[in-house]
Amino acid sequence: APVSGSVSAIIGGTKERPVIVTTTSGSVHCFSSSGVEIWKAKHSPIFAAPVTVYINAKPFVLFGSVDSKVHCLSIVDGSEKWIFECGAAIFGSICVVEPNAIIFGSNDKFARMINLESGSLIWETCLDSTIASTPTIVNGDLAVFASTRGSVFWIELKSGRIISKVLLEGEIFSSPESIDSATSDIVIGCRDNCVYRLEK
């Protein structure tokens, strides 16, 4: 099956650094760095890149799937640590918020933050359309989400409150990218054939 998103490799911690591959058919594969398959698992189709993290010094992989779930799997053996279910398909990747949370968007229009260790909901904020891209963090305390309607939202990480919004002239399926971690500025592509630099 086609490989979805990017391949993810766990950094440090082990002599043999595993590589995680997800596919649009829903299979998840863990390979050694020499190409030997360690384990595989079957889930619903996955379109975004997996994200590798450490939780209590143990390696895990996170990904969203089209069956509306975020999965947290052990990289050691593929066992499920937790599953978080939302209201619609997830097409973007997970964004890690230090020290112990993640944020993501889904097709039910909600931006969400959940606890990295437990998978429990911290907050959710409804935007104006579906979210097909991956959020980013700016200025250390804000998340930036883009909706397919063409809106870009700056959201307070602590509370989930919308701080600012910019509406562009076309749909957005690309992900916002921080220009400078010390500012709230981002760049993003739009289906009006333009790339924008935006500030809140």
Residue 65, Cβ density class (10 Å: 0-12 exposed, 13-18 middle, ≥19 buried): buried
For residue 131, how far is the Cα from the chain centroid?
11
The per-residue pLDDT for 54 is: 94
Give residue 10's pLDDT: 56
pLDDT tens, position by position, 21-46 = 999 999 999 999 888 999 999 999 99
Q: Evaluate if residue 80 carries a pLDDT over 90.
A: yes
- pLDDT, position 17: 80
Q: What pLDDT shows up at residue 16?
A: 64
- Average pLDDT, integer, range 133-143: 96
CB 55 within 8 A of CB 81: yes
50-67 pLDDT, tens digit per residue, is 999 999 999 999 999 999
- Over the Cα atoms of the chain, what is R_g? 17
The SS3 call for residue 4 is coil
Note the pLDDT tens digit of each residue in 148-181: 999 999 999 999 999 999 999 999 999 999 998 7
β-strands 136-138, 121-126: how paired? Answer: unpaired
Position 7 scores a pLDDT of 57
- Is the Cβ–Cβ distance between 199 and 183 less than 8 Å? yes
